[in-house]
Structure 1
Amino acid sequence: MKECLKIKEDLQEGIVVKRTNRFVVNVLQGEKIRVCHLHDTGRLKELIYPGNSVLFIDKKSHLTDCLIMAAKGSNGWVITNTLLHRELAMCLFPKNVKVIPEVKVFESRVDFFIKPDLYVETKGCTLIKNGVALFPDAPTERGKKHILTLIKAVEAGYRAELLFLIMHEGAKCFYPNYITDPEFEKLFFKALEKGVKVRSAVFSLKGKAVYYIKQVKVCRSKPRI
């Protein structure tokens, strides 16, 4: 277990009342309704629903006054703030490498270029069923575009890696969510055949710190989900 980051702000707990749109959630704190921003483009139906607990910090914008950091899951708190993804990914890279974030390649952008020749795209994974971490939890045109970009990078002589940041400590293996986005599953395995590497890292929020727990492999067989 390795500590990757600490949340500096005070974490407060509340209960989800309603998700008013994709990025705004009404949260009950005591007798007060807080209007929180949800910085995650996924559906998160298993996490953000009326009655479930969330952790948030005070952060004002023109529409909201707080930011949701995590939601209660089956194995503890599940990080839902994708703003943390870059720092978590950086925690996994060797200390002695040169990392360039947000780089343009083949009319697209990927999260990292690690000199001299490695492109890395990260994806946050918040959905788990029967110990299987699943991505995506909603159809993702952007995700499919990123896989195609990594394939092009390998074909051009670079190395490429698809890095899944799994926010459930109970994950035993990873598999592309063929129910939600069957085309993503096809491209995922095409990428493996072409030489794109896949890494799935499990993280856990304990107190105010986020820890890297372990790495899991792609499931040996197609799971029932």
Structure 2
Amino acid sequence: MKFDKNIFEGIFISRPNRFNAKVSLNGEEIVVHVPNTGRCREILMEGTKIFLREELNPTRKTKYDLIAAMKGDVLINIDSQIPNKVVNEALENKKIETLHKYSKINREKTFGKSRFDFKLSTENEEEIYYLEVKGVTLEDKGHCKFPDAPTERGAKHILELIEAKKQGYGAGILFLIQLDNVKSFSPNDITDPEFSNALRLAKDSGVDIMAYNCIVEKNSIELNKVVDIIL
């Protein structure tokens, strides 16, 4: 998907809280919004080149969103609103092979006590599939993990996917790795063992576990290739 807003390069200075960051843009220190509540500590370090999306909304407190950063020579998109948009585009373009048969795509649909990112169905609606998407930014030497901070909602969503599967629906979780050139993915046992255990239970219960990397550029991002999953 192409970004339809202006993108500017800057330098990261600090992150006083999880919502805002101080950056240098054209030599001026400004405060910008960080659309990611994860830690991103290995990405957002002082002196790092970052990319800002201009938000022309007069009601906002900040004019820019910090959407991506360089980690060495790798560009990582950190915008937590992006994964669902990328996956939606991939579903429409039939780029996710295991989900080709679902022609109807609905966003943000409720099942049980959870709201899943997608409810997919065949044309005649005889088959229904619930899909949850998780954006991944934590990477080390080509191996990615999720989450980078504890997430109670994450484990809850997985348990609801297991329940959907038990009731006869299709169910899956897709980890969208917001960078390219990665080798493998696994749940982050140290950071969130509850999520990791729930994910393994989901696999044993027949829930589909998928991971894809992305082609990331400063003005675009798109789903790319399947990544090996290590559970």
Could you tell me which residue of structure 2 aligns to residue 44 of structure 1?
40
Query: Deviation of residue 155 (structure 1)?
Result: 0.8
Q: 1:207 to 1:38 in 2, by over 3 A?
A: closer
Name the structure, 1 or 2, with higher relative contact order (CA <8 Å, separation 6+). Answer: 1
The 8 Å contact of residues 51 and 218 in structure 2, kept in 1 or not, is answered as no
**Uncovered stretches (5+) of structure 1, i.e. residues with no partner:** none
Q: Does 1:67 align with 2:73?
A: no
Q: Which amino acid aligns with 2:166?
A: E
Given that residues 68 and 218 in structure 2 are in contact (C-alpha distance below 8 angstroms), is that contact kept between their aligned partners in structure 1? Answer: no
2:84 aligned partner: 86
Q: Which residue is 1:11 aligned to?
A: 7
Partner of 2:173: 162
1:113 corresponds in structure 2 to 119
Deviation larger for 74-83 or 149-158: 74-83
Cα distance in 1, alignment partners of residues 51 and 174 from structure 2: 25
Corresponding letter in the other structure for 1:198:
I
Offset of residue 57 of structure 1: 1.7
Q: TM-score, normalization: structure 2?
A: 0.88
Which residue of 109, 129, 142 maps to 1:103? 109
Alignment of 1:180 with 2:191, yes or no, is yes
In the alignment, structure 1 residue 212 sits paired with structure 2 residue 223: yes
Match of 2:96 in 1: none
Name the Cα RMSD after superposition: 1.5
Code of the aligned partner of 2:71: G
Task: Report the Cα offset of residue 204 of structure 1.
Answer: 2.3
Equivalents in 2 of 1:70, 1:24: separation in Å? 14
More displaced 10-residue stretch of structure 1: 200-209 or 7-16: 200-209
TM-score (norm 1): 0.91
Which stretch of structure 1 is more off in the superposition, 51-60 or 127-136? 51-60
Contact 2:136 2:178 in 1 (8 A): yes
Q: Is the 8 A contact 1:165 1:201 kept in 2?
A: yes
Q: Which residue of 2 aligns with 1:153?
A: 164
Can you give the 5+ residue segments of structure 2 that lack an aligned partner in the other structure? 94-101, 122-126
CA contact (8 A) 2:179 2:216 kept: no
> Given residue 76 of structure 1, which amino acid in structure 2 is its aligned partner?
V
In 2: Cα distance, 1:212 partner to 1:83 partner: 15
User: Is this contact kept in 2: 1:44–1:126, CA < 8 A?
Assistant: yes
Task: Report the number of matched residues.
Answer: 216
Q: In 1, distance between residues paired with 2:92 and 2:152?
A: 31
Moved over 2 A (4+): 60-63
In structure 2, C-alpha distance between the alignment counterparts of 1:203 and 1:171, rounded to whole Å: 9
Aligned position for 2:26: 30
Task: Name the CA shift for 1:202/1:137 in 2 (closer, same or farther; >3 Å).
Answer: same
Given that residues 87 and 223 in structure 2 are in contact (C-alpha distance below 8 angstroms), is that contact kept between their aligned partners in structure 1? Answer: no
In 1, the alpha carbon distance for the partners of 2:223 and 2:159 equals: 28
- Rounded to whole Å, the distance in 2 between the matches of 1:136 and 1:34 is 29
Query: Matches of 1:10 and 1:100 in 2, distance apart?
Result: 29
